[in-house]
Amino acid sequence: MALALVVTLSSLTACSITNLIRPDPTISEETTSAPEPEPTKLETTQTEESTSTDPTTEQTATKQADQKQLFDEAVITYSEFQKHELDMMIRGKSPRMPAWLSKYTTGKYLSILVVQIMNLNTAENRLADDAAKKTRTDIRPYLAPDNAEAEVALEVCLDMRKADIVQKSTGKPVRKGVLAYRRVFMKRDNGSLKIFEGETKNVSKCPFDT
């Protein structure tokens, strides 16, 4: 299922530590017992500036930046996929293998969607035309993926409880949508990040809610 996106991104902030050492000049005066004092001689230690960077901090910052870039790319991929998925479910029909399917999915996930498309084409119901406006989607990084192949994983809450499911033949509402929790796993396929595995289940409360 799928729907109008309200994306919440986790912010990963990179920081480095810089220490500036600015010692005060040391000033000394020399005088003589002559009636006329000699000009004062100033001896000044040079001020040194040194900048030190913690290699561990740099590595952490780089890793965080890479993770955020990968997550941002994953959100774009998933969002575009879900836009097509929503359009298909609103129309209530689709070609067996639409062009967008292989653009955003691969492997087991693609095969499952092909079966779901067949079921959609023979189903009596579809999503109402305004389902996108009545559905909230919250996307977050799934930080503990249990799939070794995944380069990045997302967890998604789809709140479709305000959206109508209608009869294809009459457009008459038959029931409301559900609250669903989805996890998707992505990896590179011919250079593009694609969904290769995932799971969706109905829930009574989104895991993101506290």
Q: Along the chain (210 residues), what's the average pLDDT of each consecutive run of 10 residues?
A: 36 23 35 46 48 69 84 96 93 95 96 96 96 92 85 95 96 96 96 96 87
| Residue 129 within a domain | yes
* pLDDT score, position 3: 38
Please check whether residue 92 lies inside any domain of the structure.
Answer: yes
pLDDT at 32: 36
Using an 8 Å Cβ cutoff, are 43 and 77 in contact? no
So what's the pLDDT on residue 100?
96
146 falls within a domain: yes
- Total count of domains within the chain: 1
Asked if the structure places residue 46 within a domain, the reply is no
Instruction: At 47, list the tokens.
Output: 């001020």
The pLDDT of residue 144: 78
CATH of the domain at 167: 3.10.450
Can you give the pLDDT at residue 24?
37
